[in-house]
């Protein structure tokens, strides 16, 4: 079933300006984070160059007062759009903490998830629980969960979608189809090349949206949230975009595609596209765009300073959050670590 997005209003000029500020800040911080990794400030990072519109647009459409967002390890733009402290977010990439130092309950952003497809199961569980807890006839809180075209082949994804479809869980499955499952092109690991086609097998609505068009992503996600909030069940959104950089800072995309292929397939840059819309619609001037770019650079520099100031966490914490009740083996490992590292 195709989701109806035609009744969702266009964005106001104020919304377009806010959206651009967030997209611009995401682009600048993403480029900065790659540079930090090259400089040794952080040990690793998963870039999102080219996916800013999909990430910011989808988060922009959600209601952080009641909804919950479940990221992977690449949703920096989602976190920024929600207003998460980006030093606390980047603490995971600094290897200072697992899943981010931010408070998930307050920010409505679940901890950063490195397990491929893992956050999807959590989102469906949360959505089902919120549906059970809601008063009859009221609008439902909605979960949105992120994954890529590569992750869509994971068994966990299919179990989660089936569970959500059967129980009409208010959850949005947001697929960023960036053309690559690390080094494997989408057409070689997704039959038919589109993930949205799978939604019908789980009796859920779906929509394919231009993931480089931030305003279109906002409207599609708002439509999906309204559908799920009304108790009509889950929605699968497939945002067609392109991963312009490497899968991670340890990846070399030159081993599986050429620069000519990147230029040919990447499409319109999402930041440039939104800037053109701002100017053509009269939502803002070139002075506004320049100001947003300057603010984005200043923000990235402030985050860099905060990330560099992050201290190391106590090594003993590695034993604290493994089991609710530590096993004898874990206690023995902790004792051995203290003897070797702290000489106690």
Question: Do the domain assignments include residue 6?
Answer: no
Q: Please check whether residues 285 and 344 belong to one and the same domain.
A: no
Percentage, residues of the chain above pLDDT 90: 72
Question: Do the domain assignments include residue 4?
Answer: no
Q: What average pLDDT does the segment 337-341 reach?
A: 87
Q: Please check whether residues 237 and 343 belong to one and the same domain.
A: no
Higher pLDDT, 53 or 4: 53
Q: Please check whether residues 234 and 326 belong to one and the same domain.
A: no
Question: Do the domain assignments include residue 3?
Answer: no
pLDDT bin (cut points 50, 70, 90) of residue 344 is low
Question: Do the domain assignments include residue 343?
Answer: yes
Render pLDDT for 76-115 as a digit per residue (tens, 0 to 9).
Answer: 999 999 999 999 999 999 988 888 899 999 999 999 998 9
pLDDT at 33 > cutoff 90: yes
Active-site residue, 98 included: no
Q: Please check whether residues 325 and 229 belong to one and the same domain.
A: no
Q: Please check whether residues 250 and 204 belong to one and the same domain.
A: yes
Question: Do the domain assignments include residue 2?
Answer: no
Higher pLDDT, 150 or 215: 215
Mean pLDDT of the chain: 93
Active-site residue, 13 included: no
Render pLDDT for 141-164 as a digit per residue (tens, 0 to 9).
Answer: 999 999 998 888 888 999 999 999
Round to whole Å and give the CA distance between 152 and 216: 22
Question: Do the domain assignments include residue 5?
Answer: no
For residue 194, the model assigns a pLDDT of 86
Q: Please check whether residues 35 and 162 belong to one and the same domain.
A: yes
The residue annotated as part of the active site, out of 93, 247, 273, 299, is 247
The residue annotated as part of the active site, out of 243, 244, 273, 299, is 243
Q: Please check whether residues 298 and 331 belong to one and the same domain.
A: no
The residue annotated as part of the active site, out of 18, 158, 256, 257, is 256
Q: Please check whether residues 236 and 213 belong to one and the same domain.
A: yes
Q: What average pLDDT does the segment 266-275 reach?
A: 93
Question: Do the domain assignments include residue 7?
Answer: no
Q: What average pLDDT does the segment 37-53 reach?
A: 94
Higher pLDDT, 235 or 321: 235
Domain total for the chain? 2
Boundaries of domain holding 227: 13-313
pLDDT bin (cut points 50, 70, 90) of residue 276 is very high
pLDDT bin (cut points 50, 70, 90) of residue 258 is confident
pLDDT at 167 > cutoff 70: yes
Q: Please check whether residues 296 and 267 belong to one and the same domain.
A: yes
pLDDT at 210 > cutoff 80: yes
Q: Please check whether residues 187 and 322 belong to one and the same domain.
A: no
pLDDT at 342 > cutoff 80: no
Active-site residue, 256 included: yes
Question: Do the domain assignments include residue 8?
Answer: no
Q: Please check whether residues 204 and 333 belong to one and the same domain.
A: no
3-state secondary structure the chain: CECCCCCCCCCCHHHHHHHHHHHHHHHHHHHHHHHHHHHCCCCCCCCCCCCHHHHHHHHHCCCCCCCEEECCCCCHHHHHHHCCCHHHHHCCCCCCCCCCCCCHHHHCECCCCCCCCHHHHHHHHHHHHHHHHCCCCCCCCCEEEEEECCHHHCHHHHHHHHHHHHHCCCEEEEEEECCEECCEEHHHCCCCCCCHHHHHHHCCEEEEEECCCHHHHHHHHHHHHHHHHCCCCCEEEEEECCCCCCCCCCCCHHHCCCHHHHHHHCCCCHHHHHHHHHHHHCCCCHHHHHHHHHHHHHHHHHHHHHHHHCCCCCHHHHHCCCCCCCCHHHHHHHHHHHHHHHCC
Q: What average pLDDT does the segment 306-328 reach?
A: 87
Q: Please check whether residues 178 and 326 belong to one and the same domain.
A: no
CATH code of residue 177: 3.40.50.970
């Amino acid at each position: 079933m195709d989701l109806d997005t035609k009744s969702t209003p266009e964005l106001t000029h104020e919304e377009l300006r806010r959206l651009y500020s967030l997209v611009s800040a995401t682009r600048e911080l993403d480029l900065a984070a790659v540079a930090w990794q090259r400089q040794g400030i952080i040990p690793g990072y998963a870039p999102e160059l080219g996916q800013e519109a999909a990430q910011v647009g989808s988060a922009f459409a959600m209601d952080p007062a009641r909804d919950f967002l479940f990221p992977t390890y690449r949703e920096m733009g989602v976190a920024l759009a929600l207003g998460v402290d980006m030093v606390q977010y980047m603490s995971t990439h600094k290897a200072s903490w697992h899943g981010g130092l931010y408070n998930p309950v307050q920010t409505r952003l679940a901890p950063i998830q490195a397990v491929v497809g893992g956050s999807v199961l959590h989102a469906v569980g949360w959505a089902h629980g919120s549906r059970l807890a809601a008063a009859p006839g009221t609008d439902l809180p909605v979960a949105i969960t992120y994954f890529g075209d590569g992750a869509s082949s994971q068994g966990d994804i299919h179990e989660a979608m089936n569970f959500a479809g059967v129980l009409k869980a208010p959850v949005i499955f947001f697929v960023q189809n960036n053309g690559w499952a690390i080094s494997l092109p989408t057409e070689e690991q997704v039959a038919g090349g589109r993930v949205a086609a799978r939604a019908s097998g789980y009796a859920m609505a779906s929509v394919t949206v231009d993931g480089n068009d931030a305003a279109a992503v906002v409207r599609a996600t708002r439509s999906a949230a309204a559908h799920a909030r009304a108790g009509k069940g889950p929605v699968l959104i497939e945002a067609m975009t392109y991963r312009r950089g490497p899968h991670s800072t340890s990846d070399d995309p030159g081993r599986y595609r050429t620069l000519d292929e990147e230029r040919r397939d990447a499409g319109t840059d999402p930041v440039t596209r939104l800037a053109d819309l701002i100017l053509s619609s009269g939502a803002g001037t070139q002075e506004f765009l320049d100001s947003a770019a300057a603010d984005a650079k200043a923000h990235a520099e402030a985050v860099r300073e905060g990330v560099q100031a992050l201290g190391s966490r106590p090594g003993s914490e590695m034993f604290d959050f493994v089991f609710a009740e530590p096993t004898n083996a874990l206690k023995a490992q902790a004792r051995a670590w203290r003897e070797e590292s702290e000489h106690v």
